[in-house]
Amino acid sequence: MTKLRIGTRGSALALWQARHVASIIEARDPEMKVELEIIKTQGDKILDAPLAKIGGKGLFTKEIEDALLEGKVDLAVHSMKDVPTDIPDGLRISAIMKREDPRDVFISGDGLRLEQLLPGSRIGTSSLRRKAFLLNRFPDLEIISIRGNVDTRLRKIESENLAGVMLAAAGILRMGYADRITSFMEPDLVIPAIGQGALAIETRVGDRLLDSVVEPLNHPDTELCVRIERAFLQRLGGGCQVPMAAHCVRNGKDVDVTAAVVHPDGNPMIRETFHGPAENSGIGSRLADVLIGRGADSILKSVLSDDWEPGPAMDII
């Protein structure tokens, strides 16, 4: 019997994701016994401030990656959208699993859809990206920052007198709350977060046993699209402080990619699309350059710093 330890956050959703991976590994090889090691990250500890104001990268991954590097766990399971583009030396993303629904969802307190809400209605979200896209389309709404796990945020509809909340569809579906969804946010209204809906499995470089266990869990189409999205993110040097988004869909031999940078107040929004061969090199980086050429750099400098400069251009991250 070979024992493997998965490092994971302790939220109900993170535990579901880690157990999901564990069950697949054990089903593939009955000689594998997988245990979970719960690790509290900085993002879990600081719950009284919006993510955009905490700053920094790796809010939900750094402590888990430290445990992985120190040999305290054998692999880590992350929500792909939480993983920075800069992976620590000695670690690698060994698999990106098949994507769940990447869209955002609106969950209403009284069954009304977003377009039916009165001006001044209060919507809760933890995401600056969701806030910016909502204000671009519905400028009369009031967007309230909320933190906490899925259950906590759903309870805040009542406790914070909210008209509703916006969350990732993947978490709602994985937690069995599909019946709570009022409406799905189509990408033409709210572009999903980079990597949203996909799970990443991280291991140490050179661990051949783990590579043989984990690599079969990789989903090539999801991996391709997520890497294109992350190349866009890398080029723009963004994180949770800047409302930016990129979403890729595989369509036969081609990919369709939509990307945008939005001011936190909802305007201006600079948006671009790409349709073409999947093997077309540099899609993510080139999309970022197109947006920069159309003025995205002004938004980024106003939000981040006048010293902002593009990051390295690459498509394999």
Backbone angles phi, psi at 289, to 5 degrees: -65, -35
Could you tell me the two tokens for 316? 């394999």
To the query of whether residue 306 is one of the catalytic residues in this protein, the response is no
Sheet holding 183-185, edge to edge: 142-145, 122-125, 164-168, 104-108, 183-185
SS3 of residue 77 by DSSP? strand
SS3 of residue 307 by DSSP? coil
Do 200 and 60 touch, CB atoms closer than 8 A?
no
Given the residues 82, 104, 289, 315, the one annotated as active site? 82
Backbone angles phi, psi at 19, to 5 degrees: -65, -35
Do 27 and 6 touch, CB atoms closer than 8 A?
no
Among 79, 130, 160, smallest CA distance to 243 is for 130
Beta-bridge partner residues of 75: 6
Catalytic residue positions, numbered: 82
